Structures are given as C-alpha cells and as structure tokens.
Amino acid sequence: MYGWTGQLLRVNLSNGKCRTERLDPILARDYVGARGLASKILWDEIDPQVDPLAPENKLIFMTGPLTGTTAISGNRYNVVTKSPLTGAIAASSSGGYFGSELKYAGFDGIIFEGRAPEPVYLWIEDGSFELRPAGELWGKNVHETEDAIKAVTCPHAKVACIGPAGEKLVRFACIMNDKNRAAGRSGVGAVMGSKNLKAIAVRGHGGVKVADGPAFREAVLASLAKIKANDVTHGGLPAYGTGVLVNVINAHGGLPTRNFQTGIFPGAEKISGEALAATYLVRKKACLACPMACGRATMVPSGPYAGHGEGPEYEAQWSLGADCGIDDLAAILKANFLANELGYDPISFGSTLACAMELYEKGYLPAGDTEVPLEFGNAAVMVETARKVGYREGIGDLLAEGSYRLASRYGHPELSMTSKKQEYPAYDPRAFQGIGLNYATSNRGGCHVRGYTIAAEALGTPVQADPLSSEGKAALDKAFQDLTALVDASGICLFTTFALGAPDVASMLAPATGVPYTKESGLLAGERIYNLERLFNFAAGLTKADDTLAPRLLNEPMPEGPAKGKTSALTKMLAEYYQLRGWDEEGRVTAATRERLGL
C-alpha cells in the first residue's frame, strides 16, 4: 500500500497480548484513515450502548494516509472511542509529531481493548512493541510523564499520555502528546485512564511511501502556494495564533460572555491574540510540516501566575476569559498551563466553571458546596479551580463531571451551554446562525471543528455568508461537515481549509495513495464518515431530541450588539438540513442514503 503503512497494532490490555493486523485496503479506500477508518472499526467492533468507561469500550488511535508525508500539516492523528462526556461517538484530533512517528514506526493505528490489571504504557520502536509497567508514572502530570518515559526509552521518542485528569476519569480529560498538543475534546483521556493505560511512546526510523512522487510533490507545492496567498493562513494565524479571532468575534457581537448571557465582552482586547503577542509570547510554534505555525510558546515571567508552556489557543482565551468574565491574561495563561499539565480540555472546563458561576450568582449553587465564592470575574478562583478539577478536589470534583451534570444536579440543566452534553466553543449561535446548526448536529456534541462555518460567517472564506441570516446555512453546514470529515480522515489540519478545498485535498491524496480520489469521491467519503457516526449515535440511544441547543440560545434574544434581538433559527434550519442529508423527519439515516453511501 502507498500512503498507508498497511499495518495495525491490536493491544489487549486485559491479557497483555499484542498482535499486528493487515489493514483492509477496501476499508482504507472507502474511509480514508484517521477519523473515518477508526470510526468504522469502532462501529464494527463494539456495542454502541456500552458504558464508555467499561473494558468493553475500545480506544483507537489512527493516522491518515497523509500523516507523516510532506503534505501541508501532514501530522494529524485521531483518537476514536465512545465518549464518557456525551455518550456519543468521540473522535478527537491532535497534531504535533506523535502521529507521524507512529507511521515511521510502521503502523497506521493502534486498537486498545480491555483493561490492564495495573497501570501500563506501550513502547513501540520500528515495528517492535511491548507493554511495560507504569505504576511509577501513575500520578505524574503530562510533562513529568513524557520526560520519565523518554529517559528510559529514547530521548527522541514521541509520547502520547494522560495526566491526573485522565487517571481520575475527569469526563473531559484529554490525551496529550508532545507535552502540549491535545486530542482534546469529548473525554478520550478518561477512557484511556479507565483502561489503566498511562502512555504510548513511539520511535520510528522509517518513512511513508507515496505512489507517485513527482505528482505528489506538485500537488503539495500547489497547495503551499495557496496557503501562502491566504490572509488567514499566512497572515493572522502565524502573527497572532488562533487568538486573532478574539477581537473579530467580539466585533460581531458573538463572543459568549458570562455563560452566554451576552455576546460582547468589554475586556476582549486585553485577552486577544494581539495582546498575547505584545506581552507573554516567547515564540511561534509549528507542528510537523506546517507553515502556519499557529502555536504559541508563552511565559508569564513573574507574579502569582508565573509559569511557562504553550498556548492558550483562541478557545481557551475565551473559555477561561470572556465566558468567566475574566480579562486577566496572565491568569488565563496560568490556567491553560495547568490544563495542559493535568491533561484536560480547557473549553469544557471554562464553560463548566462559567455555568457554576451563574448557578452561584442566581443562588442555585449553595455557598456551602464551594470552598470559594464562584463569582464572574474572579481570576484567582478560576486558576485555583483549574488545579482542583485536574485532581477532583473539592468543587473540582463536581466540575469534573461537565456542565450538564453539574447544572442538572442543582435542578437547572438549562444553564448548561451544551449540545449532547458537550460544552460549546467560542461562538454564540444567535450571532452566527450557521454555527448553531453545526453545534446541534455535530456527531460529537457541541463543537466547531466538525463544520467550521465561522470561516464563511466571520472571515468570508471560501464564501461570504451573512452571519445573522439562516438562509442557505443548512447547505453550508453539510458542505463544511463533509469536507471536515475528509480532512480529518486524510491526516492534515483543519486550518488548511481556510485556503484549501476538497479538490486540493484530493490532489494530494490521489498521488500519495494511488487511489484515484477526486473532489467528488473525496466528499463522498466525508459524507460516508459523517453518516456512519450518525448511525453509531442512534444505535447508542441518541435521537432527534439531541439535535438541539441550550434553551437560552433558542428563547432569549441577544441583549446587545450587532446581533441584538436575535435568537437561533434552529428549527427552520434543521428541517432543511435533514432533507439535504437524506435523513427522515426524525433525523434517522434512511435506507436509501445507507445504500448510496455503501453503509
């Protein structure tokens, strides 16, 4: 095979046995790789109604055919499992260097099943593999774990691991690689912790063979030219990181503030990418084979929030900032450093804390249940709570369950800003109608990277779409979702789609794999993946009722700004979306659609 290595590793943690398996080339062709291929394996091998934290759930690490190549940002891998946060399918993507190293060691992916009797980690080196005891690593944070494993394996190894949050089954725990990169949403780290699997360390000296080297190089260079000609991928992202969006989204009146009570944050400028560049930025940081370099190496040199690490990304600048009413950038950096070191998702954490703050503000969360006053704008409380969540200490134990379970505990689930129990990212659906439809229909719950309509609604790429209008948003969402599924499956970064489209992805996939992918067949693969995930969710017990938004976004008009008076027009968009998807009125994938997609 070309592009793919053609080999998977299956690890039974219960009995400690590992074996290699041949990758089915037909499945690889139809599901491409990474998110797609892993979702197909999960669908084939587990009962969708399984308890996500039970040994019967599986945890699948999978690369794409472009991972480890010179394709633009060809470094991604996905972790697919059933989510302990949502009960739906989880597919979480990460960049850095780990995914490519797994390919260089000879494997497209790893399937973990069962549960180890004691903590272990997996060591892979150039096609060889073994499970090793990890008892001495249990309890260490992400950075300590990576350093300790490299000390006993290879200093050039690439490590993916969990921190205390994963060990303690925080429902939004991450799997971290290269210390600060994250398979970050839906609680994949908790599933890893439930299996007593502390880490995977990989060292490989191989490469990735492509079918047509000259044609592949030509396609990569053509894509690179488009990346360099784009204002976002060659301008805003390298200069200010993803935080460049803070002021942009705030100007649209869609920066969710104080648990989505409004869409304008007066302190936006203080927490923006521009402010970060002027204060705490040490240098830009790129993943393998990526010219965009949107990562930020940062340091707070002194004061109560002194520390250094990576980030925050835009979503964390928002969740730890505007959503909690906090404009102290140093405190936001400190909380983000803690999230990386302890291994959990700062989006879900910040949003859950904002929910707790509103519960506290309204008198629904008794003061006796908290060690500190959970007031909007209290930076010190936010930072201390960031530590407590990772260890499930005090109020952190309640927040570790996510905002839906927290708000339900106190009788007010409507104050949880979630879809399918996953917290929303940094865009208010009243100001951006298309992203609201995407939140509601995302297969992994409230999420922006399953169909990034913000590109069109806020940035005007690849088309300009009126953010306040619901017209045409169903078709726009479907197009973005199918393209995103293809991109995730290919093994490249979603941010390339600011400049690249399906024809560009296909132009790299075809010469890399030898499979004659086209724009049409590539998008069909993306549609197949999206519908397969939908089938999994319905088999897991989800229904049309889960394709919704928090009541606030449907019923409470935006109080100020450009979107003043607007609510989400979800009901209208959803009916059109179902029709375009080929689903019935209850949101079920029809027999005709299954047949058309080969499901």
Please name the amino acid found at residue 25: P
The reply to whether 34 and 125 lie within a common domain is yes
Q: Cα torsion for 86, 454, 559, 345, to the nearest 10°?
A: 40
Q: In this structure, is residue 279 part of a structural domain?
A: yes
Using the 3D structure, point to which of 203, 219, 250 is the last residue of a domain: 203
Cβ partners under 8 Å of residue 197, min gap 6: 13, 59, 112, 116, 119, 120, 121, 122, 162
Q: Residue 306: which H helix or E strand, with range?
A: none
8 Å CB contact between 319 and 386: no
> 398-415 pLDDT, tens per residue?
999 999 999 999 999 999
Give the domain CATH number at 66. 3.60.9.10
CATH of the domain at 327: 1.10.569.10
What's the angle, vertex CA 378, arms to CA 375 and CA 384, rounded to 5?
105
Asked whether the beta carbons of 50 and 79 are under 8 A apart, the reply is no
Residue 548 lies in a domain: yes
DSSP H/E element including 574: helix 570-581
Model confidence over 177-220: pLDDT tens digits? 999 999 999 999 999 999 999 999 999 999 999 999 999 999 99
Range of the domain at 564: 428-597
Residues 529/35, Cβ–Cβ less than 8 Å: yes
- Number of domains the chain is built from: 3
Dihedral, CA atoms, 144, 147, 151, 153, nearest 10 degrees?
110
- The residues with which 113 forms a beta bridge, in sequence order, are 12
Q: What is the pLDDT of residues 298-334, one digit of tens each?
A: 999 999 999 999 999 999 999 999 999 999 999 999 9
Task: Examine residue 216 and state whether it is found in any structural domain, yes or no.
Answer: no
Write down the pTM of the prediction: 0.98
- The predicted pLDDT at position 317 comes to 98
Is residue 214, in this structure, part of any structural domain at all? no
Do 25 and 58 lie in one domain? The reply is yes
Query: Do 437 and 417 belong together in one domain?
Result: no
- 517 and 417, same domain (yes or no): no
Does residue 230 lie within any of the structural domains? no
Return the pLDDT at 371: 85
Write the CA distances from 411 to 162, 253, 272, integer angstroms.
32, 30, 35
Residues in the chain: 599
**Amino acid type, 372:** V
User: Are 416 and 436 part of one and the same domain?
Assistant: no
Q: Across the strands, what pairs with 132? A: 121
Q: Is there a contact between 63 and 77 (Cβ–Cβ < 8 Å)?
A: yes
Residue 357, CB half-sphere, CA atoms under 13 Å: how many?
Answer: 29
* Domain end marker among 157, 186, 203: 203
Residue 77, CB-side half-sphere exposure with 13 Å CA sphere: 30
Beta bridge partner(s), residue 77: 63, 94
Q: In terms of domains, do 308 and 415 share one?
A: yes
Q: Is residue 392 domain-shared with residue 514, that is, in the same domain?
A: no
Q: Is 63 helix (H, G, I), strand (E, B) or coil?
A: strand
- For the record, the structure tokens of 374 come out as 């959970």
Range list of H helices, 78-128: 98-104
**CA 381 to the chain's CA centroid:** 26
Tell me: do 516 and 574 sit in the same domain. yes
437 with 567, same domain: the answer is yes
For residue 223, tell me if it sits in a domain.
Answer: no
Q: What is the mean pLDDT of each run of 10 residues along the chain (599 residues)?
A: 98 98 98 98 98 98 98 98 98 98 98 98 98 98 98 98 98 98 97 99 98 98 97 94 97 98 98 97 96 96 97 97 98 98 98 98 94 95 98 97 98 98 98 98 96 95 96 98 98 96 98 98 98 98 98 98 98 97 98 98
State whether 445 and 574 are in the same domain. Answer: yes
What pLDDT shows up at residue 549? 98
Same domain? 246 vs 196: no
Name the H helices within 400-547: 403-409, 433-441, 454-458, 473-490, 502-513, 519-539
Tokens encoding 332: 């936001």
Q: Are residues 126 and 199 in the same domain?
A: yes
Domain membership of residue 48 (yes or no) is: yes
- Is residue 217 assigned to a domain? no
Strands 120-125 vs 175-177: parallel, antiparallel or unpaired: unpaired
Cα 42 to Cα 95, 212, 498: the distances in Å are 22, 32, 30
**Nearest-angstrom CA–CA distance, 597 and 599:** 6
Please, are residues 285 and 297 in contact by the beta-carbon 8 Å criterion?
A: yes
For 240, phi then psi, to 5°, come to -125, 5
DSSP string, 178-247: TTTEEE-STTHHHHHHHTTEEEEEEE-------S-HHHHHHHHHHHHHHHHH-TIIIIIHHHHGGGGHHH
Domain boundary among 380, 403, 422: 422
Domain of residue 587, CATH code: 1.10.599.10
User: Containing H/E element for 560?
Assistant: none
Nearest by Cα to 577 from 501, 497, 480: 480
The two structure tokens encoding residue 463: 């088309």
